[in-house]
Amino acid sequence: MNWVHKFRVVAWWSSARTGIAKSDSAPNAIHFTAPIELGGIEGRWTPEDLLLGAVASCYTTTFRTIAERMHFEYIDFQVEVSGIVATSDSGYDFTGISIRADLAVDAEEKKELGLNLLQKTKELCLVTRVLRAQQSFLPSVTVGSPALAG
Q: How do the domains of the chain map onto residue ranges? A: 9-45, 46-131
Topology of the domain comprising 46-131: GMP Synthetase; Chain A, domain 3 (3.30.300)
pLDDT at 137: 73
Torsion of CA 87, 126, 43, 77, to 10 degrees: -120
How many CA within 13 A on the CB side of residue 39?
A: 3
pLDDT at 70: 96
Residue 124 has pLDDT above 70, yes or no: yes
* Residues 58, 79, 131, 62, CA torsion sign: negative
DSSP β-bridge partners for residue 11: 21
pLDDT at 76: 95
CB 33 within 8 A of CB 11: no
DSSP code of 45? B
Residue 108 has pLDDT above 60, yes or no: yes
Residue 53 amino acid letter: G
Can you tell me the distance from the alpha carbon of 149 to that of 19, in angstroms, rounded to the nearest whole number? 12
| Percent helix, percent strand, percent coil in the chain, to nearest 5 | 30, 25, 40
Residues with Cβ within 8 Å of residue 78, at least 6 apart in sequence: 101, 102
Per-residue pLDDT tens digits for 33-59: 999 988 999 999 999 999 999 999 999
Q: What is the pTM of this model?
A: 0.84
Can you tell me the distance from the alpha carbon of 44 to that of 48, in angstroms, rounded to the nearest whole number? 11
Comparing 15 with 70, the larger pLDDT belongs to: 70
